[in-house]
Structure 1
Amino acid sequence: MSAREAIFANVRRSLGVTGSEEPRRFEVEARLAKAPAGVVPKRGQGDDEARIATFKAEAERAAATLAEVATLAEVPGEAARFLRENNAPASLRMGADKRLAAMPWDETSLEVLHGPSDGHDLNALSVAFAAVAETGTIALVSGADNPTTLNFLPDNQIVVVRREDVLADYESVFLRLREAYGKGRAPRTVNFVTGPSRSADIEQTLLLGAHGPRRLHIVIAG
């Protein structure tokens, strides 16, 4: 028996219940089905244009850079421009996301590498599951399509966000996660990223790239 199971067994024993009583199960299921919504800030609310504007403003306030392209096919050109203008190597690591594979990378001079990073990649590109207008945050889920190592190890991270995936708040992101994956099938990791990595732990001096990328470039597509 694990420590968790032992604790629950002690609680049930002290209450004189087994946990299988019909009234108790009904109360729990009703509570889960009708859980009240918490207070949701208004900052990220509004129509599509309002959400995009708020997202861009908040992401830039967190030191991320942004660009907008009309279609996913324009992402390779924007990625090449960003790397070139930041004097970064013309190589880019990405996962197995089918949306990335369908992009015209051969129209650029970039060397495209696939799979998780081993810590030697300077540049990476991922597709966000969603974005949060309220705080300028991107939500990335783990898996072979977009490996989590790409969110932390390279110096420069480029993240593609589709316009329709810019949601108002965190509650909307969690709702979409449940809808997309179903009960008991959530991804192993969900990373919420706001701006490039930074720390001011040492003498209150701001250091970029402390625990992840020094630069975060968000490409809004659509």
Structure 2
Amino acid sequence: MSARDEILGRVRAGLAKGDAGSRRAAALARLQAHPPGPRPTLAGDLVARFRDKAQSLASTVEQVDDYAAVPARVAAYLAGLGLPAQAVTALDVAGLDWAAAGLAWRSGVAVDADPVGISGCFCAIAETGTLMLLSGASTPASVSLLPETHIALVPAARIVATMEDAFALLRAERGALPRAVNFVSGPSRTGDIEQTIVLGAHGPCRVHLIVIGENA
């Protein structure tokens, strides 16, 4: 037995803790048996609900038919704001033809010099206009958090009604949680004592969402 095992064994004995696996199973069983709390029933078009809520949080939103149209729309968005046609992309969207749209781009982790970050998303939540982003080798969190402008690609079929639905989808498709789950609801913001809202204080000052396709 190593010194580490001996120390942790003493801690477990002192806390009267049993096997970690059995305790985890008991906790999961309790969560599954617990009745769910009240949640809203969202009727109608989830895409329209998501767009309206996202815009109320200062995101801008547009919709395209398919992924092939995305690079040109990104280039037009950046040109319309007088922003450089330069971006870092997460690996999950790096396969699009960014160069054909005139964008200088690279894929990977974002750095301070990157003005624009382009990412996908795991899913989006119609109730609150929120993106659910999972960290991983192909989806570094820095791409959505570090540049001043974040452009997110949102498949319409991945828009769910509520946060509970988002976590249910995560459990069904991934099982275990990734290292980080980030929820993005519009640009970063803060307010001083006089309640003056400032965008981009500790993250992107612009969030542009491109919804792809129609809701399934």
Same fold (TM > 0.5): yes
Deviation, structure 1 residue 86: 0.9
> Are residues 1:46 and 2:39 paired?
no
Deviation, structure 1 residue 28: 5.2
Contact 2:62/2:210 (CA < 8 Å) preserved in 1? yes
Who is 1:195 aligned against? Answer: 186
Cα distance in 2 for residues equivalent to 1:149 and 1:26: 34
5+ unaligned residues in a row in structure 1: which ranges? Answer: 13-17
Cα distance in 2 for residues equivalent to 1:186 and 1:132: 18
- Output one character per residue of 1:82-115: Cα deviation in whole Å (capped at 9) or x when no partner: 1110111010101211xx2332223211001111
In structure 2, relative to structure 1, the CA distance for the partners of 1:36 and 1:158 (3 Å cut) is: same
Within 5 Å, give how 1:137-216 maps onto structure 2: 137-182=130-175, 185-216=176-207
Who is 2:4 aligned against? Answer: none
TM-score (norm 2): 0.86
**Worse overlay, 132-141 or 198-207:** 198-207
> Are residues 1:81 and 2:80 paired?
no
Deviation, structure 1 residue 37: 1.6
Within 5 Å, give how 1:26-175 maps onto structure 2: 30-42=29-41, 45-47=42-44, 50-97=45-92, 100-175=93-168
- Output one character per residue of 1:160-203: Cα deviation in whole Å (capped at 9) or x when no partner: 00001110000011011111112xx3211110000101110353
TM-score (norm 1): 0.84
Cα distance in 2 for residues equivalent to 1:25 and 1:148: 28
Cα distance in 2 for residues equivalent to 1:26 and 1:197: 38
Q: State the identity as a percent.
A: 37
5+ unaligned residues in a row in structure 2: which ranges? Answer: 1-6
> What do you get for the CA RMSD once the two structures are aligned?
2.3
Cα distance in 1 for residues equivalent to 2:35 and 2:107: 43
Cα distance in 1 for residues equivalent to 2:40 and 2:171: 21
Contact 1:19/1:25 (CA < 8 Å) preserved in 2? no
Cα distance in 2 for residues equivalent to 1:19 and 1:163: 45
- Output one character per residue of 1:135-184: Cα deviation in whole Å (capped at 9) or x when no partner: 100111111222101122101000000001110000011011111112xx
